[in-house]
Homo-oligomer: A and B are copies of this chain.
Amino acid sequence: MRPAVCNTLQRFPYRPQEGVLLITPRPLGERADPRTQEEERMTQTLDTPTQTPAQRAERWFADFEEALRARDVARAAGMFAATSFWRDLVAFTWNIATVENPDGVADLLTATLDRTDPTGFAIDEPPDEADGVTTAWFTFETAVGRGRGLLRLVEEDGEAKAAPKAWTFLTTLYELKGFEEPRGPARPMGAEHGVNKDRLTWLERREKEESELGISVQPEVLVIGGGQGGIALGARLRQLGVPALVADKHDRPGDQWRGRYKSLCLHDPVWYDHLPYLKFPENWPVFSPKDKIGDWLESYVRVMEIPYWGSTVATKATYSPEKGEWTVEVERHGKPLTLRPKQVVLATGMSGKPNVPVIPGQDVFRGDQQHSSAHPGPDAYAGKKVVVIGSNNSAFDICGALWEHDADVTMVQRSSTHIVKSATLMDIGLGALYSEEAVTAGVTTEKADLIFASLPYRIMHEFQIPLYEQMKERDADFYERLEKAGFWHDWGEDGSGLFMKYLRRGSGYYIDVGAADLVADGQVKLVHGVVDHLTEDAVVLEDGTALPADLVVYATGYGSMNGWAADLISQEVADKVGKVWGLGSETTKDPGPWEGEQRNMWKPTQQDALWFHGGNLHQSRHYSLYLGLQLKARYEGIPTPVYGLQEVHHLR
């Protein structure tokens, strides 16, 4: 559904003050430096003592750890380049935060160093070097947990003789000490050997839990929304031993997908879509059909033993700061019930809250009207006239399927859309991190997630622009035809393409799987304009054009996720939390100031004990770990002072 990651491994430009360095990292494991070990040893004796990537990285970590141990913030901050980025996922900040440049580093360390007490920085595979950037994977410990990260070192201002400095520095927490996950060598035994008169079987324990959780035993965490986001988080919390309940309005897990238009397939490829702990099998299709992913989610819930309530709607939630507890009214299979969790996570989805325009005449129109999320597919509309309002992903998918079923389809384009062809995006945009080749080269999903997480949002568009320039060139004929047909096409305001649009505004693009040709060829009619009103049997634009219609589909997108908080809790709380999603990039639908991270996602908000979780399968997988660890720490009573709590600059 959502677009793909940038392919930062293919072109990774580093721009110190005086110029541009183009970096082309290779698959992991391949030596960047063609010198043999012997040549390297020779170089060492002849040259400076910090010539090899390993030595450079080791030296940096030794110095950094010494500075940290001495609580010498200035010295540690001085080890970062003038333009540099430290991204921390929960390990130092109990937040998802990026600080910039030595002063940002100093600020972060001043606030967090004493209680974090980081130690044991260790490089855990041979560092790599390419075009002036040394890359090193490492592990470390804090007072309460264990982490891993990725460092990129550069020589600042071409000062080859000076010690290299950190350009990007990623630190992530992966486990809390004393609360290691039961998996791999620590997996549970399952059978309890020996004899025990009080033994409960696995089934009896499951049934007991099912009869109690949410009824006589309150969950620590209530996750509202059981799509891929809620399910991935449910699996993490289960694994971390946090009593949590995932509730969803649909009957069965996966119905969120099953209920959508029938031609829907994931637009992201399988390597990008794995859930935690259990990967798709090797025969899984590249692009999952919606019902198949629905079945997978349902099976996953069962296999992971995630407590999941279907047919459950949360109607009202209030928080008591005194009790540190929510009161959430739900209807389960229509029966009212009150839950009292300590934490509430809204995992209702980026595409959860339909944005349906209010248009005069909607009450007069005699045909069907559907938001794209409620469109059942084309079967009933063969030979009918259909007007689809909108020109992004859902609009194209729906137009394509209707055309295939011999409907007479008109697309109303209201504003410019960015289109890339699916195969092109896979090759140029995703290949190095998420592909069969990446897996073969040792870039596991987990590794790809960390590489991707290590790229600062601030400069991500710079890495994206050249990729989209490649795509433009490769598919030049296609774009020419499309524009000739009158389609308003763009590449994002700064030419940075699809993934930045996704991060900034979550809309404005189509990953073409074929339907764009229908528009280019005129098979699907294209009109531009603003809808003025509906009549009994037509959509009328502001310029007076009347489009006869038996069906109107509003492919008009979704609102900000804090709209859910307004509905469920109160407008006051929604406003207190502010806009969810976006970076503050000062582009359309993503006003500034710069936020550094995605607004309010997977991290503490201005409302105690209220969290937002969601995004595509990649984000649901990766960020559920950090949200899970934040919730686990609170459950276990580990202090979690938050550095850099999200400020509110926009209400929705």
Interface residues of A (CB under 8 A from B): 181-185, 187-191, 193-197, 199, 201-204, 206, 239, 262-263, 265-266, 270, 277-278, 281-289, 291-292, 295-296, 299, 302-304, 400, 403-406, 422-423, 436, 513-515, 517-518, 523
Contact = CB atoms under 8 A, between A and B. Distances in A.
A276 to B, nearest CB: 9
Nearest to A289: B202
Contact of A422 (B193, B196, B262, B403): B193
Contact of A188 (B286, B302, B513): B286
Contact of A285 (B189, B299, B405, B422): B189
A282 B277 contact: yes
A515 B195 CA distance: 7
Given A202-B289, A295-B303, A284 B187 contact: yes
A229 B484 CA distance: 59
B303 A187 contact: no
A513 B282 contact: no
A281 B277 contact: yes
Contacts of A277: 281-283
A295 B302 contact: yes
A282 B422 contact: no
A296 B292 contact: no
Nearest to A195: B514
14 contacts: A187-B282, A187-B286, A189-B285, A189-B287, A190-B270, A193-B514, A195-B400, A197-B404, A197-B406, A202-B289, A203-B289, A277-B282, A277-B283, A299-B299
A291 B181 CA distance: 23
Given A203-B291, A262-B201, A291-B202, A514 B194 contact: yes
A283 B183 contact: yes
A436 B270 contact: no
Contacts of A403: 195
Nearest to A421: B193
A199 B261 CA distance: 14
Q: Name which of A201, A278, A284 has the most chain B CB atoms within 10 A of its CB.
A: A201
Contacts of A187: 270, 282-286, 436
Contacts of A291: 201-203, 206
10 shortest A-B CB distances, which residue pairs?
Answer: A190-B285, A202-B289, A191-B265, A191-B287, A299-B299, A278-B281, A194-B514, A190-B287, A203-B291, A183-B283
A404 B199 contact: yes
Given A187-B283, A188-B283, A191-B287, 11 more contacts: A187-B285, A190-B292, A191-B286, A193-B423, A195-B404, A195-B515, A195-B518, A195-B523, A201-B263, A203-B289, A277-B281
A199 B287 contact: no
A204 B523 CA distance: 25
Contacts of A304: 281, 283
B278 A190 contact: no
Nearest to A265: B191
A439 B312 CA distance: 42
A513 to B, nearest CB: 5
A487 to B, nearest CB: 16
Contacts of A404: 195-197, 199
Nearest to A278: B281
Nearest to A291: B203
A195 to B, nearest CB: 5
Nearest to A422: B193
B289 A182 contact: no
B436 A184 contact: yes
A383 to B, nearest CB: 13
A286 B202 CA distance: 13
A451 B348 CA distance: 49
B262 A203 contact: yes
Contacts of A423: 193
Contacts of A436: 184-185, 187
A162 to B, nearest CB: 38
Contact of A193 (B194, B199, B302, B513): B513
Nearest to A379: B204
Contacts of A196: 404
A287 B188 CA distance: 8
A258 to B, nearest CB: 8
B262 A189 contact: no
Nearest to A406: B197
A552 to B, nearest CB: 22
Given A184-B436, A270-B187, A201 B282 contact: no
Nearest to A282: B183
A187 B426 CA distance: 15
A303 B281 contact: yes
Contacts of A182: 283
A266 B286 CA distance: 34
A188 B286 CA distance: 6
Contacts of A518: 195
Contacts of A296: 303
